[in-house]
Amino acid sequence: MKPAAFEYHAPASVGEAVGLLAELGEDAKAIAGGQSLVPMLALRLAVLDHLVDLRRMEELRGIEQRDGGVWIGAGTTQATIQRSAEVAAWVPLLARATPLIGHFQIRNRGTLGGSIAHADAAAEYPAVALALDARLEATSPRGARTIAARDFFQGMWSTALQADELLTGVLFPQWGPRSGFAIEEFARRGGDFAIAGAAVAVQLDTDDRIARCGIGLFGLGQAALRATTTETQLTGSAAGEVSAEDIGRTAMEGLESVPSDLHGSADYRKHVGAAMVARAWERAVQEAGVQEASNA
């Protein structure tokens, strides 16, 4: 199929872009790399009167330390993130998630902001943003605001962004010493969306207790999820006394609207999800411990 007819706009600045979004309203959609939106338009799963192309805006690209964290522009491509030594050092979980996204052709055009704003429940970046307590920067004609990742993802392809708002950047906190990170997912084929996956961050204190942790889940609901109840139960526990398998099972408790489709039943996805959480947790805790030994 071919997309329905639409009017194309190519603004040169964020101000111009949000002005267009405000003027055109619900009939307009911003497009960055187009790796999610273009297939939907081609299949006519989405029909729009106006498309606002963001690719000309250099101000949406970049990687820098800012405000106690790492700011990455929404228009920064996934391939740029994958190649970045700074991201690998400063935001290891994001760096490790990136090679799991589609194929290299997709990562060459797909962007950080495009993936997060699209909010696909099976995508890696939303789960990473949740696990790391990222802050999402949005701009509209009314000005700029910051949205916590936990408040951003609202449902299937649905976020807290207003119709006239544009996601301009993401600020990832830098975790301190004795931190470990891991992401695990299961897909039928390499490059496919995950049936279930988990992104885990953990930080240990000097007594080998869990100072804080983040567990982001994907492929297990209408949007990316965070296992907050499990995180609360783990905080303060001795890292060596908790079972990864128990953590995986606990993270699956209380999940609602787990998909059931031709790729697997809801029960199957939860079974896989528990295994992914357990594997990611083991790797993250091991890295947090190894890090201490290397610094001794």
171 inside domain: no
Locate the DSSP E strands across the chain. 7-9, 28-31, 50-53, 63-66, 69-73, 135-140, 143-148, 153-155, 158-159, 166-173, 179-186, 196-204, 210-218, 225-226
Sign of CA dihedral 160, 39, 219, 212: negative
Beta strand pairing call for 7-9 and 166-173: unpaired
Write the CATH number for 14.
3.30.43.10
* β-sheet bridge partners, residue 69: 66, 173
CB 6 within 8 A of CB 28: no
Sign of CA dihedral 188, 190, 194, 199: positive
What's residue 39's pLDDT? 77
Structure tokens at 194: 């995950």
What's residue 116's pLDDT? 96
Write the CATH number for 281.
3.30.390.50
**Residue 106, pLDDT above cutoff 70:** yes
Residue with tokens 């979004």: 21
CA nearest to 150, candidates 219, 61, 217? 217
What's residue 115's pLDDT? 95
What's residue 64's pLDDT? 97
**Residue 294, pLDDT above cutoff 50:** no
Structure tokens at 86: 């700074």
Using a 10 angstrom Cβ sphere, with 0-12 exposed, 13-18 middle and 19 or more buried, the burial of residue 218 is buried
What's residue 292's pLDDT? 42
Q: Considering the chain, what is the average pLDDT of its residues?
A: 93
Last residue of a domain, one of 37, 53, 69: 53
Structure tokens at 52: 């606002």
**Residue 237, pLDDT above cutoff 70:** yes
CB 6 within 8 A of CB 50: yes
What's residue 296's pLDDT? 42
Number of separate domains in the chain: 2
107 inside domain: no
What's residue 290's pLDDT? 53
Q: Which amino acid is at 25?
A: G
Using a 10 angstrom Cβ sphere, with 0-12 exposed, 13-18 middle and 19 or more buried, the burial of residue 65 is exposed
Q: What's this model's pTM, rounded to 2 decimal places?
A: 0.93
48 inside domain: yes
**Average pLDDT over every residue of 161-173:** 96
**Average pLDDT over every residue of 260-289:** 96
Domain that residue 193 falls in: 179-295
What's residue 291's pLDDT? 47
Burial letters for 112-138: b for 16+ Cβ neighbours within 10 Å, e otherwise?
bbbbbbbbbbbbbbbbbbbbbbbbbbb
* β-sheet bridge partners, residue 238: 209
CB 21 within 8 A of CB 100: no
**Average pLDDT over every residue of 86-104:** 96
pLDDT in tens, 173-229: 999 999 999 999 999 888 788 999 999 999 999 999 999 999 999 999 999 999 999
**Residue 262, pLDDT above cutoff 90:** no
28 inside domain: yes
Residue 143 CB partners (closer than 8 Å, separation 6+): none
pLDDT in tens, 18-71: 999 999 988 888 988 877 777 777 777 677 789 999 988 999 999 999 998 999
Torsion of CA 277, 279, 285, 289, to 10 degrees: -170
125 inside domain: no
231 inside domain: yes
229 inside domain: yes
Nearest-angstrom CA–CA distance, 125 and 114: 10
**Residue 293, pLDDT above cutoff 60:** no
Nearest-angstrom CA–CA distance, 93 and 116: 15
Burial letters for 76-106: b for 16+ Cβ neighbours within 10 Å, e otherwise?
bbbbbbbebeebeebbbbbbbbbebbbeeee
What's residue 179's pLDDT? 97
pLDDT in tens, 110-160: 999 999 999 999 999 999 999 999 999 999 999 999 999 999 999 988 999
Last residue of a domain, one of 35, 53, 71: 53
